[in-house]
Amino acid sequence: MAMIRLKAELFAELATGGKDAVQAALQKAIQLEHATIPPYLYALYSLDSSKNGNIARMIQSVVIEEMLHMTLACNILNALGGDPVLDDPTLLPYPKALPGAVEGDLTVHLEPFSLDLVQRTFMKIEEPENPLLFPVAAALAEEPITIGQFYTEIKNQIIALGDAAFSSTARNQITPDLMDDAIVVTNVDTASQAIDTIVEQGEGTPQSPLDLDSEEFAHYYRFSEIFHGKKLIKNQAAPPDAPPDQRYIYSSAVADAIAFDPSGVFAVPQDPKAADYPVGSGARHACDTFNFTYTSLLKTLQTAFTGQPDQINVAIGLMMSLKHQAKQMMTGINPQGKNVGPSFEYQPVNP
């Protein structure tokens, strides 16, 4: 499985140095973080949690951390005097290429959950430069440029800029009392801490599949557990000097199984569009309402990240509303009695 590769131009632009280049790279990072959220949510909400509850909880944990990553990238950009942009129609719709990805390397779709989707898309998005392949080893056909490497270069350029590049007071920051694990960015050290959190939660480290701060598995390895249907556990037979890829194994214990029940996936379409449903129908109204709510979420996040941080509480309320709407649509609880897929289209006008 080839991992996602980012365009070399992203690094070339960043390598020019200077605050403008770092700000532009951080805005691209914000777009990257957002681009993963609707596909993860679509797969999550397509699951019947009564049959696939473990998988649903694992994907939800990743979504929450992706929201944190987007917030941390916004905090860093704000601290450097930039203004994050979230209220942007170009963030939607799907299918789409990930921002900054090599053309044709990966097109991200809105798809109901499947193990193939996890391996083909989710693990590819989150894959680190040198993944710890516990069951088997695989050679890469070419040298990749990963999201983690992109963040590392942003960190290097921020270190080069120094503390003088940062706002003299905390600027437009989302604080831990507003979002768990948020980091207030005011200097090189706190910006580096925020970037390390993003990378370790997504990819782990070259020595461990864990995010070392939380002792949770990084996103790539959580998705890998789902795909293999087994929990990763410490290899008790490994000697103290064992290489990193021999320190964990996929458990064979029945109690550690992560079972997937294919009957527990709602029959929702791939890459739906509001236009797929007749004007005036209950399905169309549900889809339009969902899209208006999601667009309102982007607008609220824009406000929260550009001077009114307490609006993050409003955003959280909108997220809960989106979950309720999506579940009703996907389970067929609508006047049409059919499984409707939320299309994540930009809809600024209340339908």
Which pLDDT value is given to residue 334? 57
Query: Looking up tokens 């929990």, which residue turns up?
Result: 231
Whether the per-residue pLDDT at 118 is higher than 50: the answer is: yes
Instruction: Compute the average pLDDT of residues 193-198.
Output: 94
Which pLDDT value is given to residue 106? 83
Instruction: Find out whether 270 and 111 touch, Cβ atoms under 8 Å.
Output: yes
Residue 24 neighbours by CB distance under 10 Å: 17
Residue 215 neighbours by CB distance under 10 Å: 8
Whether the per-residue pLDDT at 137 is higher than 50: the answer is: no
Which pLDDT value is given to residue 333? 67
Instruction: Compute the average pLDDT of residues 138-154.
Output: 67
Which pLDDT value is given to residue 42? 98
Residue pLDDT, tens place only, 317-347:
999 999 999 999 998 765 555 789 999 999 9
Residue 234 neighbours by CB distance under 10 Å: 10
Instruction: Find out whether 334 and 324 touch, Cβ atoms under 8 Å.
Output: no
Q: Which domains does the chain possess?
A: 8-265 (1.20.1260.10), 271-351 (no CATH)
Which pLDDT value is given to residue 70? 96
- The whole-angstrom separation of Cα 330 and Cα 278 is 17
Question: What's the whole-number average pLDDT of the chain?
Answer: 88
Instruction: Compute the average pLDDT of residues 261-280.
Output: 94
Q: Give me the residues paired with residue 107 across strands.
A: 97
Whether the per-residue pLDDT at 166 is higher than 80: the answer is: yes
Q: What is the 3-state secondary structure (H, E, C) of 281-336?
A: CHHHHHHHHHHHHHHHHHHHHHHHHCCCHHHHHHHHHHHHHHHHHHHHHHCCCCCC
Question: Which two structure tokens, joined as six digits, stand for 132?
Answer: 């710890």
* pTM for the predicted model, two decimal places: 0.90
**218 vs 8 pLDDT, higher one:** 218
Which pLDDT value is given to residue 264? 96
Average the pLDDT over each of 105-109, 153-157, 208-212, 271-275 and give the range with the smallest value. Answer: 208-212
Instruction: Find out whether 26 and 76 touch, Cβ atoms under 8 Å.
Output: yes
Q: Which of 95, 124, 105, 52 is nearest to 270 (CA)?
A: 95
Residue 69 neighbours by CB distance under 10 Å: 26
**Cis before 93? omega within 30:** yes
Residue pLDDT, tens place only, 22-33:
999 999 999 999
Q: Which of 126, 173, 113, 128 is nearest to 32 (CA)?
A: 126
- The whole-angstrom separation of Cα 28 and Cα 84 is 10
Instruction: Compute the average pLDDT of residues 87-96.
Output: 94
Instruction: Compute the average pLDDT of residues 262-280.
Output: 94
Beta strands in the chain (DSSP E): 96-97, 107-108, 210-211, 216-217, 232-234, 248-250
Which pLDDT value is given to residue 138? 31
- The whole-angstrom separation of Cα 295 and Cα 301 is 10
Instruction: Compute the average pLDDT of residues 58-74.
Output: 96
Whether the per-residue pLDDT at 17 is higher than 80: the answer is: no
